[in-house]
Chains A and B, each alone.
Chain A
Amino acid sequence: MEPTNLIPAVSCSGVTKAYGSGDTRTVALRGVDLEVRQGELLMLVGPSGCGKTTLISVMAGILDQDAGQCSLFGQDMKRLTPAQRTAFRGRRIGFVFQAFNLVPTLTVADNISLPLLINGSPRRQARERSIACLAEVGLAGREDAMPSELSGGQQQRVAIARALVHEPDLVVCDEPTSALDHTTGLAVMDMLKNLVVRGGRSLVIVTHDSRIFHYADTMAHMDDGRIESVRPGAATGEHS
């Protein structure tokens, strides 16, 4: 049996995905092969509309591919029922979104505790864990603030805390720095790298932001629904 840490976090082979039908059919993925190792930071880069978001959606079990196979930690996502897939995602994947997607009517602590509550944690325990996680992203004491009271950088840190609070094995980030200034973007990337990759988790980042490319262990370039190249990033070997 393959040792657990040798099982790739994500393994996609021959993944295709199209939207629409007939004349309006648009092929977003054309036979994508890609692997993300455990503890690796993979950056997925490419022009707009090349299929990056579709690929991470398939990787995370949010979208069904039309053909090919995609497995997370050895689990073929297509073999799971929708309910099982949702539960799997809830336990093992964390998300950081470009637009933060913090619920504006909930406090920072409530926002962070969402993944725990969804996974059935008691409220008190979820809040305590959220406050601890908030401290890890450098926002101790802001648990009762509303998202609108925070700067963009702080909101993204809250989003990172929310993505990590339930200790997922894979964190998927969609343009995590695009809404941030250079300094804040680098601070957010430092935090992601420290908390996610150095914690032994895998991190997949979709980005256009060339200022953060040097954080990648692996760079996957996409174009027109295909992986054009997969190369070691500047950070390769940094933490091995």
Chain B
Amino acid sequence: MFHIALKMLFGDPGKYLGIITAIALSSVIMVQQPAMLVDMLSQTYGTISDISLPDIWVMDPGVKSVDDSKPIQDTQLYRVRGVRGVEWAVPFYKGMQKVRLENGESAMCQLVGLDDSTLIGGPAVMLKGRLADLHIPDGVIVDESGARGRLAKRACEECPPVPIGVGDILEFNDTRALVVGVARSTPSFMSQPVVFTTYSRAKTLALSERKMLSFVLAKAKQGEAPEAVARRISAETGLTAYSSEEFKQASLEHIVKHTNILVNIGFVVLIGFVVGTAVTGQIFYNFTLDNLRYFGVFKAMGASDRTLLGMILLQALLVGFVGFGFGAGATAAFMHATAGGPGPQAKLTWQLLLGSGGAVMFIVLLAAFISARKVLRLETAVVFKA
């Protein structure tokens, strides 16, 4: 009887497409909005994710997240290096600076200063130039979304932006900086352009500050747990030290706690889920209601409740899979088409697809359950009504 269930479904293309469209649109909301949320939340610790080599972050005790910079004295670097279990430690500068573009406009950017000799903390993916080019005098590397976005050149107000590239000049506090590379990095939560340079050059480019060391990046010796070494650093230096994972968690919690991002986007996701449930449920329920008489005929002819339930479940699962496939596919295509632009990007992860797919399946199974109840409780004698 299962092929009969499918023929009943496909036999009414209008309704079939209606259900598929409703589920696809619900899926778009349930995939796209959480994907945005996942990306925005992951941006809260994007810098930590991008810097994979060190496994310990040391900072001022007042720092709450990776975007929250409270510089410490350069001498703290040596104290960290002296703690037992630390393999190596390097300085890391991260601060907001105003950059002046060639056309005279200015923009805020995130200036990142890497250890001069090792360049630890630099971007992993170079699109143009090499990381080592930072050793070129005045050299800086800009991130891709910044190069195409806020740092892009405009010949006039209406002219299309032209991404800056190798050879272009930027200016920080009247100090010249030469773009020597373009890199791909996780955008910051505030979506500011990121400009990488050496630690010593960052000190030159940044406004004169008494303390410049934002973080000390350290590596635990082999066999030492980063968390244990971090505790040791904290105890011996009075600074806060986290393992990378701990710092990611702390940064995430800080943003979630101090912004309404989770509530606002979570609300949209919830609305999407509720609307998706209502629309999909209603359409599928109506589809079953339209066929109620025929299910009654099947019952009169001897179809068991199990057979009828199987038919309805099959119809529900099929429209669920197809609808979700279209919805998730359309969302992925949209994300691909808009990828690389400035601002938050949606991030489609397998966990997200699994979760939203599960939610869609829940919706269709709920609709199937409600429809099936109607069918199973149907008084078979209805078939004798004209």
A contacts, CB < 8 Å to B? 53-54, 56-57, 60, 62-63, 83, 86-91, 95, 97-99, 101, 103-106, 110, 114-115, 117-119, 123, 174-175, 178
Interchain nearest-CB distance for A140 vs B (Å): 22
Q: How far is the CA of A29 from the CA of B212 in the complex (A)?
A: 96
Minimum CB–CB distance for B296 against chain A, Å: 8
Q: B301 touching A53 by the CB < 8 A rule?
A: no
Chain B interfacial residues counted at CB < 8 A? 27
**The one of A63, A117, A119 that contacts B4, using a Cβ cutoff of 8 Å:** A117
B307 and A118 within 8 A (CB): yes
Asked if B301 and A89 sit within 8 Å, CB to CB, the answer is yes
**Contacts beyond the supplied A56-B384, A95-B300: 20 A-B pairs with Cβ under 8 Å:** A62-B300, A63-B380, A63-B381, A86-B304, A87-B302, A89-B300, A89-B302, A90-B301, A97-B297, A97-B384, A101-B297, A101-B383, A103-B11, A103-B297, A105-B8, A105-B10, A110-B7, A115-B301, A117-B4, A118-B1
User: When chains A and B are docked, how far (Å) is the Cα of A97 from the Cα of B7?
Assistant: 22
In the complex, chain B residues whose CB is within 8 Å of the CB of A87: 302, 304
Minimum CB distance partner of A89 in chain B: B302
**Residues from chain B with Cβ under 8 Å of A117 in the complex:** 1, 4
B246 to chain A, nearest CB (A): 59
Which B residue's beta carbon lies closest to that of A88? B302
Task: Report the separation of the CA atoms of residues A101 and B298 in the bound assembly, to the nearest whole angstrom.
Answer: 10
**With an 8 A cutoff between CB atoms, is B154 at the interface?**
no
Contacts of A110 in B (CB 8 A): 4, 7
Point out residues on B near A: beta carbons under 8 Å.
1, 3-4, 7-8, 10-12, 291, 293-294, 297-305, 307, 380-381, 383-386
Give Cα A60–Cα B384 distance, bound, in whole angstroms. 12
Q: Considering the chains assembled together, what is the distance between the CA atoms of A91 and B298 in angstroms?
A: 13
Q: Could you tell me if A95 and B301 are in contact, using CB atoms closer than 8 angstroms?
A: yes
A90 proximity list for chain B (CB < 8 A): 301-303
CB distance from B294 to the nearest CB of A (A): 5
Is there an interface contact between B3 and A57, defined as CB atoms closer than 8 Å?
Answer: no
Chain A residues lying within 8 Å of B384, measured Cβ to Cβ, are 53, 56-57, 97-98, 174
CA distance A104 to B294 in the complex (A): 9
Q: A83-B304, A90-B303 are in contact. Are A99 and B386 (CB under 8 A)?
A: yes
Q: How far apart are the CA atoms of A123 and B8 in the complex, in Å?
A: 16
Q: B386 touching A175 by the CB < 8 A rule? A: yes
By beta carbon, the residue of chain B nearest A87 is: B302
Note all chain A residues with C-beta closer than 8 A to B294.
Answer: 101, 103
Judge whether A123 and B3 touch: CB under 8 Å. Answer: yes
What is the count of residue pairs linking A and B with beta-carbon distances less than 8 angstroms? 83
Q: Are A118 and B380 in contact (CB under 8 A)?
A: no
Chain A residues, CB < 8 A from B302? 86-91, 115, 118-119
**CB-CB nearest in chain A for B9:** A105
B383/A95 in contact, CB under 8 A: yes
22 contacts between A and B (CB under 8 A): A53-B384, A57-B381, A62-B381, A63-B380, A63-B381, A86-B303, A86-B304, A89-B300, A89-B301, A97-B297, A99-B385, A101-B293, A101-B297, A101-B383, A103-B4, A105-B10, A110-B7, A114-B4, A114-B297, A117-B1, A118-B307, A174-B384
Cβ contact of B12, chosen from A60, A62, A105, cutoff 8 A: A105
Q: Kindly state the separation between the CA atoms of A87 and B300 in the bound complex, as whole angstroms.
A: 10
List chain A residues, Cβ under 8 A from B297.
Answer: 95, 97, 101, 103, 114
A58 to chain B, nearest CB (A): 9
Q: What's the nearest-Cβ distance from chain A to residue B299, in Å? A: 7
User: Chain A residues near B304 (CB, 8 Å)?
Assistant: 83, 86-87
Closest to A94 in B: B301
- Chain B contacts for A174, CB-based, 8 A: 384
Chain B residues closer than 8 Å to A115, beta-carbon distance:
301-302
B364 nearest CB across to chain A (Å) = 20
5 tightest CB-CB pairs across the interface, nearest first?
Answer: A90-B302, A105-B11, A57-B381, A62-B380, A53-B384
Specify which chain B residues have a CB less than 8 angstroms from the CB of A57 in the assembled complex.
380-381, 384
With A105-B12, A118-B307 given, is the CB distance from A60 to B4 under 8 Å? no
Closest beta carbon of chain B to A145's beta carbon, Å = 13
**Which residue from B8, B299, B301, B305 sits with its C-beta under 8 Å from A106?**
B8
Measured CB to CB, the nearest residue on chain A to B381 is: A57
Q: Tell me if A60 and B300 are in contact (CB < 8 A).
A: yes
* Bound Cα distance from A95 to B305, whole angstroms: 19
